[in-house]
Amino acid sequence: MSIIFRKKTSPLLRILKLNFLLFFCLFSQVIWAQKDSSAILKEVVVRGQKSEIIQEPGKKIFQVGVNLTNLGGNLYDVLSNIPSIYVTNEGTVQYRGSQNLAIYFDGKPSGILNSSRANALSLFPADMIDRIEIISNPGAKYSAEGSSGILNIILKKEVTSESLRLNTNLGTHDKYAGSLSWARNSKKFTHFLDLNYKESQRYDYQKLYRENASPWGLAKINQEAKETNRDLNYALKWSSMYRIDAHKSLSGYLWARFAGDHNSETRFNTTTYYRTIDRLYQRESDKRGKDQGFDLNLSYQNTVIGKKDAKIDFVWINNDGQDGNDFLQNYYYENFQTLNTNFPTRIERSRAASTNYTMLLQGDFKRNFGKTRFFEYGFKWNQRQYGNLFDYEKFKMPNWELDPKRSNNFDYLENIQAIYGNYSAKIKKFTWDLGLRMEATQLDIQHGFTKPSYVNWFPSASFLQEISEKEYWTFSLSTRISRPSYKSLNPFVSYADPINLNAGNPNLQPEKALLIELTHSKDWKNLSMSNQLFLRNVDGLVSKVRTQLEGDTTITRFENLAHSRSIGFENLLQFSIMKAWKVQVTSSVYQMDLQGFVNSLNIQEQRWASSARWNNQFKWANGWSGQISYLYQSSLLSPLGNIGAYYTIDMGIKKDYGRFTVNARVNDLTNSQITIYDSRPFGIISDLEKKKETRIYYIGISFKLDGKKKIKDLNQRKEINEKEAGDD
């Protein structure tokens, strides 16, 4: 078998054509937007077409259910549709070029992200998500974790008298999903049950070309890997709320989950030397894993509107996982047709067991002083523990022998205590907010790596000036921190790919960031626009760095770089062309600045990056609605190399039949989402191309049944809307 690496053709021409089309359409849409708005106002009243993106002071809100291309999808699909968000194949979520974005569910951590981030994103169903908030400049009342801000995933919470929802979805190449939710609301109690099932199969590939010195002369490495991922996921969530009286309530939820995966990979490696024969090998790996755990949340809340608010939360998260990986590596002569018996067949296996838990106790309190002043304060205690036992064995006839060099036993314990205070006041149309947060951190790492305790102070400030009811300015400033994860601290070296090793670094220090934003937002009768200038300054940036070792091997580990700075501009534009056509355009342009030592080279890199998303929502008569989205992401700067640009087109359509809804969608219609790394600027000639299966066609059916009280309320609201439309 011969491996041919095709020359990478630049998609520049296609991108220019699509951007020209985008510009032409946007220009014509802006002209149309200046016309009379009465039709648009009618459309809002009668059809209730909901905006996908809402801009509020300090945050952007993305309504997940409004985007038809999210129906039946997963969290990976949802995040990939959000402007300024970039999701890598490994599950890393980048925002404005930074991967240190804290991710929470309903404002609190979740165990679903404690295991493989890539699996978590692909397994978590979009049907459970109501909306996603991006808090790009959090104040003192928020946890300081996340040097680029907070991504808060708000789950659905039914409030009708009684309802039943059933969703099923079928995707190409064996992808199945189903969910069932039931809710009941009474005077004293609210109950909600959600069941989710998802099974999928996905095909990925990877290509690598690298040049490096070796004892046998200059080596040129060509590597091609094909992978099949099979995933199975079950989740059950039960939540209840008991209203003690008009002000006090007790609530809680139990979220149990099970995830299993089976991944098969075949990797072909060809190493060409100048002074010796080529080396060809085929490495097959078969991985099976499972992860199970639960989240338990208990809350007490006492709210007197306009006077005080108190909330105390207790969260207990527990996860257990097991992984087994079997390897078979054979060496070949040219074209992978004849076995090379000069090198013995390698039969190896690894077994891993992991356990982790999180305990969180948090109190948030608010006291009002009149109608325009209030003081917020609170505390937080958080403990996280991770344990990982990893055994690597080689088969030597007739027994398996443990390889101590490749085996690992790692324990990590983290304690964080925090207190905060935040004072806000409003004078006429000017609102100011000042806060201070203190966090104390203690770490305990096995194998003699002792981390000293440290205390950090996080001041924040924000100012809002109302020009009118539909226009305002805001200025905000905050300081943040990103503590190294237990995976990045683990010094264990992974030999899953013998010539591309990976390892953590127990000497990592937290990275610290300063965030500054200036925002202007204004609404007209038929147009809404928001503009934002931002600056992110990071010291001690934590990132992966690839270093060449002896021979033809490299190792990728986490390092603290000296400095990183991003400055940029974001725009959000929303308007309607006609009654049935709503348009949302988001764009961002920012400069990325990277300074530090990579592979003993003093790096001083700067690059401008940009992203744009053009979303068209259509709503017609007889229950029909549709959507077409175009997303473009320019190349990004990364210590592993420049990440190439890409674009994608998503489409979706939906038809309502009373209680039934039928939907169809396709993600990445052009099959153009490819991740390409170019490491030449950082001292290593290395080109890496990764491709996930993204062009997937889905069809789904939904059924909903509401209680009589809810149906009566809907009919009354419909009559009022029709009357108001007639008056207009």
CATH number at residue 309: 2.40.170.20
- Domain range for 335 is 12-727
Question: Does 5 fall in a domain?
Answer: no
Question: Does 448 fall in a domain?
Answer: yes
Helix (H, G, I), strand (E, B) or coil at 525: coil
**pTM score:** 0.80
Residue 50 has pLDDT above 70, yes or no: no
Residue 437 has pLDDT above 90, yes or no: yes
Q: Minimal CA–CA distance to 633: which of 20, 87, 17?
A: 87
How many other CB atoms sit within 10 Å of the CB of residue 52?
A: 25
Two structure tokens written together for 380: 């937080």
Q: What is the pLDDT confidence band of residue 705, given thresholds at 50, 70 and 90?
A: confident
pLDDT winner (highest mean) among 168-172, 540-544, 549-553: 168-172
How many other CB atoms sit within 10 Å of the CB of residue 221?
A: 21
pLDDT winner (highest mean) among 114-118, 592-596, 720-724: 592-596
Note the pLDDT of residue 160. Answer: 62
Q: Minimal CA–CA distance to 696: which of 169, 258, 32?
A: 169
Q: What is the pLDDT confidence band of residue 115, given thresholds at 50, 70 and 90?
A: low
Two structure tokens written together for 513: 């960031």
Average pLDDT over residues 157-183: 83
Note the pLDDT of residue 450. Answer: 59
Of the listed ranges 377-381, 419-423, 661-665, the one predicted with least confidence: 661-665
Two structure tokens written together for 656: 């309502």
Average pLDDT over the chain, rounded to an integer: 81
Q: Minimal CA–CA distance to 421: which of 145, 57, 139, 102?
A: 139
Residue 33 has pLDDT above 80, yes or no: no
Helix (H, G, I), strand (E, B) or coil at 76: helix
The domain tally of the chain equals 1
Note the pLDDT of residue 699. Answer: 92
Question: Does 3 fall in a domain?
Answer: no
Residue 22 has pLDDT above 50, yes or no: no
Two structure tokens written together for 461: 């400030």
- pLDDT per position as a tens digit, 180-227: 889 898 889 999 998 988 888 888 999 989 887 777 777 888 999 999
One-letter identity of residue 264: S
Q: What is the pLDDT confidence band of residue 518, given thresholds at 50, 70 and 90?
A: very high
Question: Does 136 fall in a domain?
Answer: yes
- pLDDT per position as a tens digit, 60-111: 888 887 777 676 677 877 887 776 777 766 667 878 767 778 888 888 877 7
Whether cis (ω within 30° of 0) applies to the bond prior to 398 is yes
- pLDDT per position as a tens digit, 219-268: 888 999 999 988 888 889 899 999 999 999 999 999 898 888 899 999 99
In terms of pLDDT, which residue wins out, 318 or 125?
318
Of the listed ranges 4-18, 590-604, 627-641, the one predicted with least confidence: 4-18
Note the pLDDT of residue 360. Answer: 94
Average pLDDT over residues 527-551: 84
Separation CA 690–CA 89 (nearest Å)? 8
Average pLDDT over residues 297-321: 93
Question: Does 6 fall in a domain?
Answer: no
Note the pLDDT of residue 245. Answer: 92
Question: Does 2 fall in a domain?
Answer: no
**Per-residue exposure over 128-166, b if at least 16 CB sit within 10 Å of its own CB, e if not:** bbebbbbbbbbbbbbbbbbbbbbbbbbbbebebbbbbbb
DSSP state of 407: -
Q: What is the pLDDT confidence band of residue 694, given thresholds at 50, 70 and 90?
A: confident
Residue 329 has pLDDT above 60, yes or no: yes
Question: Does 152 fall in a domain?
Answer: yes
Question: Does 384 fall in a domain?
Answer: yes
Share of the chain above pLDDT 70, in %: 84
Note the pLDDT of residue 467. Answer: 93
- pLDDT per position as a tens digit, 582-630: 898 988 898 877 777 766 667 777 888 888 889 898 988 888 988 898 9
How many other CB atoms sit within 10 Å of the CB of residue 438?
A: 15
Residue 2 has pLDDT above 60, yes or no: no
Note the pLDDT of residue 240. Answer: 93
Note the pLDDT of residue 418. Answer: 96
pLDDT winner (highest mean) among 7-16, 261-270, 499-508, 576-585: 261-270
Q: What is the pLDDT confidence band of residue 129, given thresholds at 50, 70 and 90?
A: confident
Note the pLDDT of residue 261. Answer: 87
Burial of 17 (0-12, 13-18, 19+ CB in 10 A): exposed
